[in-house]
Structure 1
């Protein structure tokens, strides 16, 4: 942790705003002081900040976060400017410049967009700018949203080749049960999924202004650590200690190596739009040989989806074995079931010779 030269810090809405939903200047000022101190030690910092929708509630006269997507987008439109303005003012006290980066899911999962986002953030860091990242809530639809900024932060950490991800919350770490429960114990370190057996994690906090909760933080930690990036989960009040490498909160140790971002997203941040049922031979080919899924190995199709959607891969008994990006619409697949690629090419044309799911777009679950 003390050797980390590039750190992504994510802060949630409840750590930045008042109970009424407006921006809390003191909280932002404290956070910026901590980030500026890290910068003086030579650490490059990327901030993933929630709070745009929450910051827009009070100016719009809304008491709670709206459920309707259009209302959320309206609140984000008002709140994002207020949020970045506050950060800009606070960073200026330290002689630092803020750079706003608004991302959609495509920006970190489609190769061309990913490359551009990587180059932009890298150039900001080279210029001494502190990038402030948020989801582009004003244009993102429910189909193309990250769902919460914890996942976004994990993917951004991968995007910028970060050495460390720090998740700041209104709770000082991961507990083995609800923190308010008598006898609940802080889990200081997580080295593998086995350390989470029996752990009960909660959903959205009492403030009701965010979209995450401990569940999404644990999932975000899995995304980052699976890509070789350690994660510290602690409270915003302990941000300084976390960035200084002091023991605080919960440390999730890295468990894997760097992998393509779209596969991280596919594994951790998607739900299958439908499903393909594989015969036993196709299951062995996909799971054991890491082969692509061909039409010849499919015995059933479920749900409605279009080419490019994530779909679940099921064994003959209906057990989930993987997820992949499908190359055909659901309506096309019944005519392809059990047929060889050569037969499909001869009868339907060369466009039907391709894999139903390519191995490069497939993860095992």
Structure 2
């Protein structure tokens, strides 16, 4: 059974398009572009999230190892991003296709206006048949400003654009039920139930050039699948991998999509790091929120404002033992919330439409 998608995000890991010596593998990039061009000609909308700027920078400039690591990353990424996008541009040009560079930071997802501006930009690029090539802006994203890695960014973009699928290309065949190097370890082909603890049988080791290991990939894949988007983790070094994944003829890991979520909830689902305030609720409110009936967060169920927030900011909602229940958009600031804490007949602090529950 092949997969019938209209819009897909393809995340290309640094370990797929980087040679063992740390330089870009241009022939592999070219082969991936060939496949993307063919897929696009079949009528699919394709968005690329591509790593590889640092490796591209390494091909152009030699730096001393003794220099500051953050500064070196900024240097290599700044120079390399130009080279990387030019490589893509020239390769797509052979098919008469345009690509567009979009560099983003975590800050761009923190407020709804920035989020919608970026979404509108990507939508207009797709309308004009351009292929967005998205990467983290490593020049300004350092330390706490960084995404976990481009897997997290790809999940955010998939949610933002209501894609049907996210294909994550790495240098192994998928997620294994043990160490891939050991005999007897096999690829988990389908993941359906939420909440599998992959860490129990997965190496936390990271790929040689990437920031995120397989545990990161599985966590983001589960979160994305929960929002109604299929996720495929496959080996980007396999010839014609994209065609094979879409035709379902290659061994890889598929996270089966769950129920659909609204666009607002998709934004909130990935916003935990953007949350400013923390609100603690009692067990009655927790039960109401996680029940099948749609419920807003009312002040009567709040027992404590743990950290302050302003109107319109994202807040974490925690239970009596400080366990995260969900995320929401504050309808008013912490001052008013404190005044109304425990009171009946008050306006919801978080309306159901702007509430994303972890459970």
- Give, in angstroms, the shift of residue 156 of structure 1: 1.6
Contact 1:176 1:198 in 2 (8 A): no
Give the Cα separation in 2 of the matches to 1:20 and 1:65: 20
Q: Which residue of 2 aligns with 1:182?
A: 183
Instruction: Classify the secondary structure of the residue corresponding to 1:336.
Output: helix
When the two structures are aligned, how many residues end up with a matched partner?
A: 350
Distance verdict in 2 for CA 1:47–1:110, change over 3 Å: same
Instruction: Classify the secondary structure of the residue corresponding to 1:251.
Output: strand
Give the Cα separation in 1 of the matches to 2:168 and 2:220: 9
Give CA deviations for 1:82-116 in whole Å, capped at 9, x if unaligned.
Answer: 11111112222333222112233454564433433
- Give, in angstroms, the shift of residue 20 of structure 1: 3.7
- Give, in angstroms, the shift of residue 267 of structure 1: 3.3
Q: Which residue of 1 aligns with 2:254?
A: 251
Q: Which residue of 1 aligns with 2:97?
A: 96
Instruction: Classify the secondary structure of the residue corresponding to 2:237.
Output: helix
Distance verdict in 2 for CA 1:275–1:60, change over 3 Å: farther
Asked whether 1:218 is paired with 2:221, we answer no
User: Residues 1-365 of structure 1 correspond to what in structure 2 (within 5 A)?
Assistant: 1-57=2-58, 59=61, 61=63, 68=70, 71-105=72-106, 107-108=108-109, 110-140=111-141, 142=143, 145-193=146-194, 200-207=201-208, 209-238=209-238, 239-240=241-242, 241-261=244-264, 263-268=265-270, 270-271=272-273, 275-288=278-291, 290-302=294-306, 304-307=307-310, 310-326=314-330, 332=335, 336=339, 338=341, 340=343, 355-365=348-358
Distance verdict in 2 for CA 1:187–1:280, change over 3 Å: closer
Distance verdict in 2 for CA 1:43–1:169, change over 3 Å: same
Contact 2:309 2:315 in 1 (8 A): no
Distance verdict in 2 for CA 1:336–1:66, change over 3 Å: farther
Give the Cα separation in 2 of the matches to 1:23 and 1:32: 14
Instruction: Classify the secondary structure of the residue corresponding to 2:56.
Output: helix
Give the Cα separation in 2 of the matches to 1:108 and 1:274: 17
Instruction: Classify the secondary structure of the residue corresponding to 2:77.
Output: helix
Distance verdict in 2 for CA 1:111–1:338, change over 3 Å: closer
- Give, in angstroms, the shift of residue 66 of structure 1: 7.0
Q: Which residue of 2 aligns with 1:347?
A: none
Instruction: Classify the secondary structure of the residue corresponding to 2:162.
Output: coil
- Give, in angstroms, the shift of residue 54 of structure 1: 3.8
- Give, in angstroms, the shift of residue 290 of structure 1: 4.3
Distance verdict in 2 for CA 1:354–1:135, change over 3 Å: farther
Unaligned runs of 5+ in 2: none
- Give, in angstroms, the shift of residue 146 of structure 1: 3.2
Instruction: Classify the secondary structure of the residue corresponding to 1:121.
Output: helix
Contact 1:175 1:199 in 2 (8 A): no
- Give, in angstroms, the shift of residue 339 of structure 1: 5.0
Q: Which residue of 2 aligns with 1:349?
A: none
Give the Cα separation in 2 of the matches to 1:327 and 1:65: 47
Question: Please, which moves more after superposition, 106-115 or 28-37?
Answer: 106-115
Give the Cα separation in 1 of the matches to 2:323 and 2:117: 38
Give CA deviations for 1:67-94 in whole Å, capped at 9, x if unaligned.
Answer: 53x5533332222111111111222233
Give the Cα separation in 2 of the matches to 1:284 and 1:30: 52
Distance verdict in 2 for CA 1:206–1:251, change over 3 Å: closer
- Give, in angstroms, the shift of residue 228 of structure 1: 1.9
CA RMSD of aligned residues (A): 3.3
Give the Cα separation in 1 of the matches to 2:351 and 2:64: 46
Question: Please, which moves more after superposition, 52-61 or 333-342?
Answer: 333-342
Give CA deviations for 1:299-346 in whole Å, capped at 9, x if unaligned.
Answer: 2344x554365444333344433333456777x48953745388xxxx
Unaligned runs of 5+ in 1: 343-352
Instruction: Classify the secondary structure of the residue corresponding to 1:237.
Output: coil
Distance verdict in 2 for CA 1:251–1:284, change over 3 Å: closer
